[in-house]
Amino acid sequence: MAVATTETAELEVVDLETTSVRELNQRLHDLAGAVPGRHRFRILNPSGAHALACGLDAEIEVEIEGHVGYYCAGMNKLATVRVHGNASTGIAENLMSGQVIVEGNASQSAGATGRGGLLVVRGDVSSRCGISMKGIDIVVGGSVGHMSAFMAQTGCLVVCGDAGDALGDSIYEARLYVRGTVTGLGADCVEKEMRDEHVAQVAGLVVAAGIDADASDFRRYGSARELYNFKIDNAGAY
Listing from the earlier edge strand, what are the strands of the sheet with 219-223?
5-7, 11-15, 40-44, 61-65, 80-83, 99-102, 118-121, 134-140, 154-159, 175-178, 219-223, 189-192
Report the greatest alpha carbon distance in the chain. 66
What is the mean predicted confidence (pLDDT) over 141-170? Answer: 98
**What separation, in Å, do the N-terminal and C-terminal C-alpha atoms of the chain show?**
52
Amino acid at 7: E
Question: According to the model, what pLDDT value does residue 203 have?
Answer: 98
pTM of the prediction?
0.92
Does 3 have pLDDT greater than 60? Answer: no
The beta-strand segments (E) located in 46-180 are: 61-65, 80-83, 99-102, 118-121, 134-140, 154-159, 175-178
- The average pLDDT across 154-181 equals 97
Confidence of residue 36 (pLDDT cuts 50, 70, 90): confident
Once rounded to an integer, what is the mean pLDDT over residues 140-167? Answer: 98
Q: What is the mean pLDDT of residues 53-69?
A: 96
pLDDT at residue 52 in the model: 97
Residues 6+ apart with CB under 8 A from 165: 146, 147, 183, 184
Q: Is the pLDDT of residue 7 over 50?
A: no
Distance, in Å, from the CA atom of 90 to the CA atom of 125, rounded to the nearest integer, reads 11
The SS3 of residue 195 is coil
Q: Which carries the bigger pLDDT value, residue 36 or residue 107?
A: 107
pLDDT reported for residue 237: 63
- pLDDT computed for residue 33 by the predictor: 77
